[in-house]
């Protein structure tokens, strides 16, 4: 074995053992005790000013932020007047994520406990008509059975519970966590593991948040290389978009900080390799996926796209190699460097961006376009997962014959604009219909995102067996689980080094930009990390009922 090979083996084994035992519960044992000790809640008197600084937005503070929601729910449970409403909230969540077979029973339980005026936990704030509808539909077990109820419930809580909550000790505890969350981040908090891949401006490596033990991927952008290649604008767009989206189907940004030499984006670690690798390189004699597997990934990608589009973001670079697998075999969209955000009031954009063979006709024709370009790329991606070949270009894996299959870009463009797609016997009727609907040449006739949802797409016969509620909660078992001992990345030697950047001097203006970029903790993922690694539970200590903990005693 040569030195490079040995280096990879050593790096892999350190990395495999670190990530193998990190499943939340075990993370505690892998923590750096000294760093963990730095995560302490301050006395409440040091956080009081935050109460004025926080946007008083109920949905954000009590629903979307995970620690905010947890503490708000603890408040509801603690207050006699809100206990029933809190119970209904949890009951709806259980229903939405229940297996198909259990839904009827869960629905009935919820109806009996909260919709029946004879019950002790009857929720009188629900509207009678809506109650009737739920009672009638309870037997169907539909995923959206309680959607209207949940909206009504949140309105009720905002009107009645939100104000008393803000005066409670639970909200004071929330302020303590917000204080901790706002502390600055440096590279001291992270331990780097092996390199996973190479980006345009630096390496991506595995890393561990030392205080909690949680593993992440650290995408480094070299400051000098960024400056030399005018990368600032792209870097800040990617960071802003990543920080804005919160979906289990898109890599999440948890921290943005800087070192002397690099800007760092700390994101969800995706260990399982990308879809391109799995389509072509895992079983080279038999490339492509069985339909069920392709359908599973397509469904998860749809959830990711739906979230982006609800946030007015066009991805533009969907393709198998940008879809990454995690340890369990779930996928997420990654590399949002080409994404654009439509400003309020604007519904279209222009500009040539994407990968040849994937770009939609309207984009290639240099017309204005919207998110429907992403459903075209979805069609191409689904096609490639089944056929192991793009619909408009013949490309194989990275094998040595790859160059022979290469088709000129101009010819690819011509085919996208004019040629119908051919389907082999590998496609079922339902799968072909979905591909055709997605790869419609006219955006107006294309399947996709309408009225803020992908409902039409999700209702296709191709997804007949999909339980979308469970999929969205991460509860559908993936069709393929990556081998935990395999590192789905190139050998360290093959990743390739960067040449040093010469002749670039950094000045005050550059430093101001780095400050803007390095915003530290991203609230939602940081709160998730605290909950899932158990740190939240260790810090959220209350003592005997009726007493005020010392750190909350004003």
Annotated catalytic residues are: 317
Site string for ligand ADP, 139-178 (x = CB under 6 A): ----------------------------------------
Q: 161-186 burial, b for 16+ CB within 10 Å, e for fewer?
A: bbeebbebbbbbbbbbbbbbbeeebe
Query: Are 524 and 65 in contact, with CB atoms under 8 Å apart?
Result: yes
Stated length of the chain: 554
Q: Residue 149 binds what, of ligand ADP, Mg ion, none (CB under 5 to 8 Å, by partner type)?
A: none
- Total residues contacting ligand ADP (rule CB under 6 A)? 18
Stretch of 185-193, 279-287, 333-341, 455-463 lying at the interface with ligand ADP (CB under 6 A):
333-341
Q: Select from 218, 194, 209 the least CA-distant residue to 32.
A: 209
Residue 534 beta carbon to Mg ion: minimum distance, rounded to whole angstroms:
34
Q: 47-59 burial, b for 16+ CB within 10 Å, e for fewer?
A: beebeeeeeeebe
Where on the chain is the footprint of Mg ion (CB under 5 A)?
335, 337
Collapsing DSSP to helix, strand or coil, 374 comes out as helix
Query: Are 102 and 95 in contact, with CB atoms under 8 Å apart?
Result: no
Collapsing DSSP to helix, strand or coil, 315 comes out as coil
Query: Are 521 and 180 in contact, with CB atoms under 8 Å apart?
Result: no
Residue 322 beta carbon to Mg ion: minimum distance, rounded to whole angstroms:
7
Helices (H) and strands (E) in the chain, counts: 27, 10
The smaller minimum CB distance to Mg ion, of residues 35 and 353, is found at 353
Stretch of 190-198, 395-403, 405-413, 498-506 lying at the interface with ligand ADP (CB under 6 A):
190-198
Residue 261 beta carbon to ligand ADP: minimum distance, rounded to whole angstroms:
16
Q: Distances from the Cα of 211 to the Cαs of 32, 255, 535, in angstroms?
A: 6, 14, 9
Query: Are 95 and 110 in contact, with CB atoms under 8 Å apart?
Result: yes
Q: Residue 61 binds what, of Mg ion, ligand ADP, none (CB under 5 to 8 Å, by partner type)?
A: none
Stretch of 50-58, 186-194, 199-207, 432-440 lying at the interface with ligand ADP (CB under 6 A):
199-207
Tokens of 471: 């999929």
Q: Select from 364, 376, 482, 495 the least CA-distant residue to 417.
A: 364
Residue 31 beta carbon to ligand ADP: minimum distance, rounded to whole angstroms:
21
Query: Cα separation of 270 and 218, whole Å?
Result: 11
Site string for ligand ADP, 108-137 (x = CB under 6 A): ------------------------------
Collapsing DSSP to helix, strand or coil, 318 comes out as coil
Block residue for tokens 């289990």? 248
Query: Are 108 and 138 in contact, with CB atoms under 8 Å apart?
Result: yes
Residue 415 beta carbon to Mg ion: minimum distance, rounded to whole angstroms:
25
The smaller minimum CB distance to Mg ion, of residues 173 and 220, is found at 220
Query: Cα separation of 486 and 92, whole Å?
Result: 39
30 is a site residue for ligand ADP (CB under 6 A): no
Tokens of 531: 């909950």
Residue 409 beta carbon to ligand ADP: minimum distance, rounded to whole angstroms:
20
Interface residues for ligand ADP in 358-397 (CB under 6 A)? none
Residue 167 beta carbon to ligand ADP: minimum distance, rounded to whole angstroms:
41
Contact residue for ligand ADP among 71, 76, 269, 373 (CB under 6 A): 269
| Beta strands 331-333 and 253-258, pairing class | unpaired
Query: Are 208 and 216 in contact, with CB atoms under 8 Å apart?
Result: yes
Q: Select from 158, 156, 157, 131 the least CA-distant residue to 145.
A: 131
454 is a site residue for ligand ADP (CB under 6 A): no
| Beta strands 313-314 and 262-268, pairing class | unpaired
Residue 247 beta carbon to ligand ADP: minimum distance, rounded to whole angstroms:
14
The smaller minimum CB distance to ligand ADP, of residues 267 and 386, is found at 267
Q: Residue 447 binds what, of ligand ADP, Mg ion, none (CB under 5 to 8 Å, by partner type)?
A: none
Q: Residue 369 binds what, of ligand ADP, Mg ion, none (CB under 5 to 8 Å, by partner type)?
A: none
The smaller minimum CB distance to ligand ADP, of residues 201 and 513, is found at 201
217 is a site residue for ligand ADP (CB under 6 A): yes
Stretch of 163-171, 264-272, 351-359, 433-441 lying at the interface with ligand ADP (CB under 6 A):
264-272
196 is a site residue for ligand ADP (CB under 6 A): yes
Residue 9 beta carbon to ligand ADP: minimum distance, rounded to whole angstroms:
19
Query: Cα separation of 307 and 418, whole Å?
Result: 31
Around Cβ 452, how many Cβ atoms within 10 Å? Answer: 9
44 is a site residue for ligand ADP (CB under 6 A): no
Q: 256-288 burial, b for 16+ CB within 10 Å, e for fewer?
A: bbbeeebbbbbbbbbbbbbbbbbbbeeeeeebb
Q: Can you say how many angstroms the Cα of residue 24 is from the centroid of all Cα atoms in its chain?
A: 18
The smaller minimum CB distance to Mg ion, of residues 264 and 462, is found at 264
Contact residue for ligand ADP among 4, 56, 200, 496 (CB under 6 A): 200
Contact residue for ligand ADP among 16, 181, 199, 227 (CB under 6 A): 199
267 is a site residue for ligand ADP (CB under 6 A): yes
The smaller minimum CB distance to ligand ADP, of residues 203 and 306, is found at 203
The smaller minimum CB distance to ligand ADP, of residues 334 and 467, is found at 334
Question: Which residue(s) pair with 198 in the sheet?
Answer: 203
268 is a site residue for ligand ADP (CB under 6 A): yes
The smaller minimum CB distance to ligand ADP, of residues 354 and 448, is found at 354
Binding site for ligand ADP (CB under 6 A): 196-201, 204, 217, 219, 251, 267-270, 324, 334-335, 337
């Amino acid at each position: 074995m040569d030195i490079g090979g040995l280096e990879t083996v050593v790096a892999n084994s350190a990395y495999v053992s670190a990530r193998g035992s990190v499943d939340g519960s075990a993370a505690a044992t892998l923590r750096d005790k000294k760093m963990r000790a730095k995560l302490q809640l301050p006395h409440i008197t040091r956080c009081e000013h935050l109460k004025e600084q926080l946007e008083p937005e109920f949905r954000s503070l009590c629903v979307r932020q995970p620690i905010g929601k947890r503490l708000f729910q603890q408040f509801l449970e603690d207050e006699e007047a809100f206990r029933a409403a809190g119970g209904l909230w949890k009951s709806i969540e259980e229903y939405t994520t229940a297996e198909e077979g259990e839904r009827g029973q869960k629905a009935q339980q919820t109806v009996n406990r909260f919709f029946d005026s004879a019950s002790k936990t009857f929720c009188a704030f629900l509207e009678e008509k809506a109650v009737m509808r739920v009672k009638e539909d309870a037997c169907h077990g539909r995923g959206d059975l309680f959607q209207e109820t949940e909206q009504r419930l949140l309105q009720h809580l905002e009107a009645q519970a939100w104000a008393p909550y803000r005066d409670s000790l639970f909200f004071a505890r929330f302020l303590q966590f917000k204080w901790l969350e706002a502390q600055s981040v440096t590279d001291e908090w992270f331990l780097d593991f092996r390199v996973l891949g190479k980006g345009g401006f630096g390496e991506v490596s595995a890393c561990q948040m030392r205080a909690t033990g949680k593993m992440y991927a650290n995408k480094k952008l070299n400051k000098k290389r960024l400056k030399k290649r005018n990368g600032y604008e792209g870097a800040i767009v990617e960071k802003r978009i990543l920080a804005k989206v919160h979906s289990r189907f898109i890599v999440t940004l948890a921290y943005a900080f800087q070192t002397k030499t690099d800007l760092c984006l700390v994101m969800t670690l995706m260990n399982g390799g990308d879809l391109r690798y799995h389509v072509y390189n895992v079983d080279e004699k038999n490339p492509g996926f069985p339909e069920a597997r392709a359908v599973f990934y397509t469904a998860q990608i749809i959830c990711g796209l739906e979230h982006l589009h609800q946030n007015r973001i066009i991805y533009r670079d969907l393709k198998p190699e940008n879809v990454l697998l995690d340890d369990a075999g779930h996928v997420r969209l990654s590399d949002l460097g080409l994404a654009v955000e439509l400003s309020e009031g604007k519904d279209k954009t222009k500009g040539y961006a994407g990968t040849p063979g994937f770009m939609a006709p309207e984009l290639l024709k240099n017309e204005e376009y919207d998110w429907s370009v992403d459903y075209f790329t979805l069609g191409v991606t689904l096609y490639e997962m089944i056929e192991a070949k793009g619909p408009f270009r013949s490309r194989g894996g990275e094998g040595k014959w790859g160059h022979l299959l290469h088709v000129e870009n101009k010819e690819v463009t011509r085919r996208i604009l004019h040629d119908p797609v051919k389907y082999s016997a590998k496609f079922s009727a339902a799968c072909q219909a979905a591909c055709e609907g997605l790869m419609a040449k006219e955006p107006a006739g294309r399947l996709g995102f309408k009225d803020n949802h992908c409902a039409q797409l999700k209702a296709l016969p191709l997804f007949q067996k999909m339980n979308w509620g469970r999929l969205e909660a991460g509860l559908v078992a993936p069709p393929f689980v990556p081998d935990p001992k395999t590192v789905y990345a190139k050998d360290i030697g093959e990743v390739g080094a960067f040449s040093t950047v010469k002749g670039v001097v950094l000045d005050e203006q550059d430093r101001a930009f780095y400050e803007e970029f390095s915003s530290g903790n991203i609230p939602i993922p940081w709160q998730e990390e605290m909950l899932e690694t158990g740190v939240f539970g260790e810090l959220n200590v209350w003592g005997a009922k009726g007493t005020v903990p010392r750190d909350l005693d004003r």
